């Protein structure tokens, strides 16, 4: 790891070290998490950015994945390092197997074994069902669902081998309500919930938890429609924030007894 990538990581695990076990009830969770490595896909902006910075504040080193917006990802990695942790921005299209393999290898070479995976990468293509072509369907499902599968498949064997890990899927409230983006997007996000439960069941005895966070109407550039009109749809009268999504992710990371669950973050729009 270069000096520009390394923050002040005193007390952390060195690259290649074995992850520690979960903390006992009542102990400081930060003592367990400090020095572990997180990979956040789509971590350069919006919800992913907030998650990467929250993980760094919690004591983790962070690999910030991006597909095209390099400057934003590098800015997030710089902010991670400003918090005293190691941070690096890594380019990859996570809907492509070969690029996922390269991404995971590069992240572990730069920072050490990955312990926390946040599958946040995705895209929205607002379309009426009558407009969706096979190409549109494939693009949206690949970006939102296939990507989560590919990265999880690449990272999970290491988590199981070290008997400690957290996988968090960032899905959407659209999986519950049908949403407004399109049938392809809603289907992909609903698929993430099934994927979460299937992986959680498969590795429940291996020290790894798998959970999902399903935000609805968060104030980011991916929000569809008029901001004020969308806020009026929420019983709390406002849109959610990326930082609130990050707090839900931190809860998943800190909580070893919870797995296979979906946290619904929606200001009372619906009850999951």
CA distance 261 to 266: 16
Does 185 participate in catalysis according to the annotation? yes
| Residue whose token pair is 């070969």 | 98
CA distance 258 to 53: 23
The active-site residue out of 66, 185, 257, 270 is 185
| Residue whose token pair is 């973050």 | 265
CA distance 179 to 93: 25
Residue 85 and residue 9 in contact, taking contact as beta carbons nearer than 8 Å: yes
Structure tokens at 57: 């504040």
Structure tokens at 175: 């999986």
Q: Are strands 37-40 and 114-119 parallel, antiparallel or unpaired?
A: parallel
CA distance 51 to 71: 18
Q: Tell me the H-state helices in 28-143.
A: 29-33, 46-57, 70-82, 97-111, 134-141
Residue length, the chain? 272
Residue 268 and residue 235 in contact, taking contact as beta carbons nearer than 8 Å: yes
| 61: region left, alpha or beta (phi > 0 left; psi from -120 to 50 alpha) | beta
Structure tokens at 80: 């991670």
Instruction: List residues with catalytic annotation.
Output: 185
């Amino acid at each position: 790891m270069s000096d520009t990538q390394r923050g002040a990581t005193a007390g952390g695990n060195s690259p290649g070290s074995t992850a520690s076990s979960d903390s006992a009830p009542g102990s400081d969770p930060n003592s367990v998490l400090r020095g572990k490595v997180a990979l956040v896909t789509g971590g350069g902006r919006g919800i992913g950015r907030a998650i990467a910075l929250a993980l760094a504040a919690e004591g983790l080193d962070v690999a910030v994945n991006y597909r095209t917006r390099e400057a934003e990802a590098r800015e997030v990695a710089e902010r991670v390092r400003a918090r005293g942790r190691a941070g690096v921005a890594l380019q990859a299209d996570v809907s492509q197997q070969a690029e996922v393999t390269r991404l995971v290898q590069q992240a572990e070479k730069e920072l050490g074994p990955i312990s926390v995976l946040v599958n946040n990468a995705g895209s929205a293509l607002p379309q009426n069902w009558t407009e969706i072509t096979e190409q549109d369907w494939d693009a949206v499902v690949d970006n939102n669902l296939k990507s989560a599968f590919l990265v999880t498949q690449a990272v999970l064997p290491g988590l199981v081998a070290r008997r400690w890990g957290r996988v968090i899927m960032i899905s959407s409230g659209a999986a519950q309500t049908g949403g407004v983006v399109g049938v392809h997007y809603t289907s992909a996000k609903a698929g993430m919930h099934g994927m979460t439960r299937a992986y959680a069941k498969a590795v429940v005895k291996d020290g790894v938890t798998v959970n999902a966070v399903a935000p609805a109407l968060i104030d980011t550039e991916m929000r569809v429609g008029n901001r004020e009109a969308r806020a009026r749809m929420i019983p709390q009268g406002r849109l959610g924030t990326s930082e609130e999504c990050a707090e839900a992710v931190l809860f998943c990371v800190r909580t070893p007894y919870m797995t296979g669950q979906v946290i619904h973050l929606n200001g009372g729009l619906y009850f999951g």
